[in-house]
Amino acid sequence: MVKNLKNDGLESILKAAEAGDLEAQLDAGYFYEEGIGVKKNTKEAFKWYLKAAEQGDAIAQSTIGSCYFNGDWGVKKDEAEAFKWILKAAENGAAHAQDFLGHCYESAWGTDRDEKEAFKWFLKSAELGYAPAQFDTGYCYEYGFGVEKNAKEAFKWFLKAAEQGHDAAQFFVGYYYSTSYPTEIVVEKDDKKSFEWYLKSAEQGNAWSQTNVGDCYENGIGVGKNEKEAFKWYLKAAEQNFEDGMKNIARCYEEGIGIRKNTKKAAEWRSKYEK
Q: 251-269: per-residue pLDDT in tens?
A: 999 999 999 999 999 999 9
pLDDT reading at 209 higher than 80: yes
Reported for 206-210, long-range contacts at CB under 8 A and 24+ positions apart, including other chains, are 206/167, 206/168, 206/170, 206/171, 207/236, 207/237, 207/240, 207/242, 207/245, 208/171, 208/237, 208/242, 208/244, 209/167, 209/170, 209/171, 209/174, 210/234, 210/236, 210/237, 210/240, 210/242, 210/245
From 23-27, 34-38, 84-88, the region with the lowest mean pLDDT = 34-38
First to last CA, the chain: 53
- Choose among 164, 7, 181: nearest CA to 172: 181
pLDDT at 229 over 70: yes
Mean pLDDT of the chain: 94
Distances in whole angstroms, Cα of residue 107 to Cα of each of 53, 59, 71, 135, 194: 25, 23, 18, 17, 32
State the Cα–Cα distance between residues 179 and 18, nearest whole angstrom: 63
User: Residue 56 and residue 51: Cα distance in Å, rounded?
Assistant: 9
Q: Would you state the pLDDT for residue 184?
A: 65
Phi/psi of residue 272, nearest 5 degrees: -70, -40
In this model, does residue 87 exceed pLDDT 70?
A: yes
Q: Per-residue confidence at 9, pLDDT binned at 50, 70, 90?
A: confident
3 falls in which pLDDT band (50, 70, 90)?
very low
User: Around Cβ 14, how many Cβ atoms within 10 Å?
Assistant: 19
Given this model, what pLDDT does residue 11 score? Answer: 85
